[in-house]
């Protein structure tokens, strides 16, 4: 396959993965010449094979020199001489033989690899987008709509202003903060969280109290051993980092409700994320040391309904021993899934009632996928089909979480996942997907964690098929990936450029690189900051105009529909699930919190 990669009509033999890699990073590849191996074009550009050969399995990349990069299969490669002007990005780990390099030639970027990229585009060279960025290419369009999870453990010394600015540059619109660390009042921790929320608002980001019931907090666990969840072995359910409480106990639920109300009152939250409220574990009943719920309350209810104590499933002397008679166990798995659904609905209702004091509170429900991986219902009690109608009634975003069992699969899974959820979601549902950026336990190549082209393709595919994309979590995203993350999340349908105009068609608000005065669809447009022009969803034709930029709105995190000025006031037409945040110029810049909904609001400036 040959792909046109340069305005100078220079072409080279390319795999189908090249445009996908560049598009997923949001880079303008109209000025790129891509060369491969010892082709005639490569030799003319100065990439010449020598008589030497090297076996390649492990490589290093200057973008992230400490990262372990291993190819799935060893490849025998010629040792190449490269032009003196070229920057070598990827080398064979032990010999230093060059494997990927590039240089600028005027407005053109020439990039070369010693071997093909592979079908997926990231099997061998994860950091091609970053390399092209270093060579001067810049994203054409960026998203500002990502969600990200944040856990403040061991980071209370970090500067909230620095963190918030970094996240916003990376395209984050909402931060979901691990709220269990702040469940009980603490002067020092509370002051830091208040500063963090203020910093997020200054950078046009909303904040959600992310809770992980039935985990409540470390202190709640220590204070209430009588309410601790139990595993099938009779041990307190301290599983991984979570310490699970028995929410089926009325007294426990009442205390948790009071704690949550206090948490939401103490801080200026914009929403709540009810995350992963179901049961452990991924091994299900086969691992009794992790199998819950086996507290006395749940066992008593099941025994009253079915005439058997669930503990008998693990007693070899019992008739109900699960290896001999699975019928009672099957009934318990169904009972368990039903109980998880009831608890989820109950806590959605409790959060709904808390909107009486803060009506702008948005709600998200993070729920592990059980449509793509159908074992999750028996393993965790997770049942998306049962829960989706309740989420729709409470106007909660249903955030589908990638289960660990599919972390090794490629970005194509998001299309299939979206199709399956669209088939069961009731009208009015709000769907999103939670992309786990983590070290994977499976054998994966070339990196243990998603980074570079793989991460960008995951984010791009997720954004194509789901209206909301959340990243778990902000601290696991490598430094090398942040500059292109917002571009990867953009799903602009078309981008046309000339010297003085830019045409963008995007399903959601986006930013484009721009400086100076701008006309959008023929009208003056004054929503601009730091070389970025914020555009509404739909088709926008941007053109240059005379005069200074003179912005009236620097940033906005709602879904902007229109902006106009009348009688010295700024009119904003927008949609927002929670408070929309407008950042206006000034010394200092002014932050205005606007009501949620489909609104028209006027702001004095």
Q: Does the pLDDT value for residue 10 go beyond 70? A: no
Q: How far apart are CA 399 and CA 86, in angstroms?
A: 44
Instruction: Outline which parts of the chain fall under CATH 3.20.20.70.
Output: 143-286+334-488
CA angle at 398 for the pair 395 and 402, rounded to the nearest 5°: 170
Q: Does the pLDDT value for residue 186 go beyond 50? A: yes
Closest CA to 270 of 599, 581, 582: 581
What CATH fold (topology level) applies to the domain 143-286+334-488? TIM Barrel (3.20.20)
The residue whose two tokens read 């709904």 is 352
Q: How far apart are CA 177 and CA 355, in angstroms?
A: 19
Average pLDDT of the chain?
93
CA 136 to chain centroid: 26
Condensed to tens digits (0 to 9), the pLDDT of residues 385-395 reads 999 999 999 99
Q: Is 64 left (phi over 0), alpha (psi -120 to 50) or beta?
A: beta
Question: In this predicted structure, what is the pLDDT of residue 2?
Answer: 28
Condensed to tens digits (0 to 9), the pLDDT of residues 474-532 reads 999 999 999 999 999 999 988 888 878 999 999 999 999 998 999 999 999 999 998 99
Q: Does the pLDDT value for residue 81 go beyond 80? A: yes
Q: Does the pLDDT value for residue 4 go beyond 50? A: no
Condensed to tens digits (0 to 9), the pLDDT of residues 551-595 reads 999 999 999 999 999 998 999 999 999 999 999 999 999 999 999
Closest CA to 434 of 398, 472, 466: 472
Tell me what percent of the residues of the chain surpass a pLDDT of 70.
95
With cut-offs at 50, 70 and 90, classify the pLDDT of residue 325.
low
Q: How far apart are CA 386 and CA 392, in angstroms?
A: 11
Question: In this predicted structure, what is the pLDDT of residue 3?
Answer: 26
The gap between the terminal CA atoms of the chain, to the nearest Å, is: 55
Q: State residue 460 phi and psi, 5-degree precision.
A: -65, -45
Decide: helix, strand or coil at residue 137: coil
Instruction: Say if pTM beats, i.e. exceeds, 0.75.
Output: yes
Q: How far apart are CA 229 and CA 214, in angstroms?
A: 9
């Amino acid at each position: 396959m040959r792909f046109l990669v340069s305005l100078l009509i220079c072409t080279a033999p390319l795999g189908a993965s090249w445009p996908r890699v560049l598009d997923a990073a949001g880079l303008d590849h109209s000025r790129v010449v891509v060369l491969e191996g010892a082709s005639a074009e490569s030799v003319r550009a100065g990439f010449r094979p020598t008589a030497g050969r090297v076996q390649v399995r492990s490589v290093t990349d200057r973008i992230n020199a400490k990262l372990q990069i291993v190819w799935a299969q060893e490849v025998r490669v010629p040792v190449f001489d490269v032009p003196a002007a070229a920057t070598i990005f990827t080398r064979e780990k032990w010999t230093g033989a060059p494997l990927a390099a590039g240089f600028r030639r005027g407005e053109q970027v020439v990039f070369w690899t010693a071997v093909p990229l592979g079908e997926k585009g990231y099997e061998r060279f994860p950091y091609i987008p970053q390399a092209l960025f270093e060579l001067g290419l810049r994203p054409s369009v960026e998203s500002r709509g990502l969600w990200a999870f944040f856990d403040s453990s061991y980071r209370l010394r970090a500067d909230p202003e620095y963190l918030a600015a970094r996240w916003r540059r990376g395209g984050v619109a909402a931060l979901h903060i691990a709220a269990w660390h702040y469940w009980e009042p603490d002067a020092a921790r509370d002051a830091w969280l208040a500063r963090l929320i203020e910093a997020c608002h200054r950078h046009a980001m909303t904040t959600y109290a992310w809770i992980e019931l039935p985990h409540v907090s470390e202190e709640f666990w220590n204070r209430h051993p009588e309410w601790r969840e139990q595993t099938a072995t009779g041990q307190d359910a301290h599983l991984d980092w979570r310490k699970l409480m028995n929410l089926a106990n009325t007294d426990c639920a009442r205390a948790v409700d009071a704690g949550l109300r206090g948490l939401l009152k103490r801080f200026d939250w914009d929403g709540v994320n009810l995350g992963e409220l179901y049961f452990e574990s991924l091994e299900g009943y086969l691992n009794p040391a992790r199998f819950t719920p086996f507290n006395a309350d749940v066992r008593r209810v099941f025994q009253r309904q079915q005439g058997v104590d669930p503990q008998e499933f693990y007693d070899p002397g019992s008739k109900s021993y699960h290896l001999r008679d699975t019928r009672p166990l099957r009934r318990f798995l169904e009972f368990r899934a039903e109980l998880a659904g009831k608890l989820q609905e109950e806590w959605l209702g409790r959060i709904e009632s808390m909107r009486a004091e803060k009506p702008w509170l948005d709600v998200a429900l993070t729920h592990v996928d059980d449509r793509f991986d159908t074992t999750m219902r028996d393993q965790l009690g997770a049942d998306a089909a049962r829960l989706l109608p309740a989420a729709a009634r409470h106007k909660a975003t249903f955030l589908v979480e990638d289960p660990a069992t599919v972390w090794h699969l490629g970005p194509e899974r998001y299309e299939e996942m979206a199709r399956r959820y669209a088939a069961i979601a009731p009208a009015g549902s709000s769907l999103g997907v939670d992309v786990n950026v983590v070290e994977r336990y499976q054998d994966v190549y070339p990196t243990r964690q998603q980074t570079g082209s793989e991460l960008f393709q995951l984010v791009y595919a997720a954004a194509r098929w789901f209206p909301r994309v959340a990243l778990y979590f902000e601290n696991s995203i490598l430094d090398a990936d942040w500059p292109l993350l917002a571009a990867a999340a953009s799903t602009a349908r078309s981008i046309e450029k000339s010297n003085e105009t830019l045409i963008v068609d995007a399903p959601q608000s986006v930013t484009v690189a721009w400086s100076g005065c701008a006309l959008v669809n023929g009208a003056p447009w004054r929503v601009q900051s730091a070389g970025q022009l914020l555009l509404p969803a739909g088709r926008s034709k941007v053109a240059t105009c005379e005069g200074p930029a003179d912005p009236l709105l620097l940033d906005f995190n709602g879904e902007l529909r229109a902006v106009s000025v009348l009688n010295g006031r700024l009119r904003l037409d927008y949609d927002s699930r929670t408070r929309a945040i407008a950042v206006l110029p000034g010394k200092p810049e002014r932050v205005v919190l606007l009501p949620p909904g489909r609104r028209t609001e006027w702001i004095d400036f």
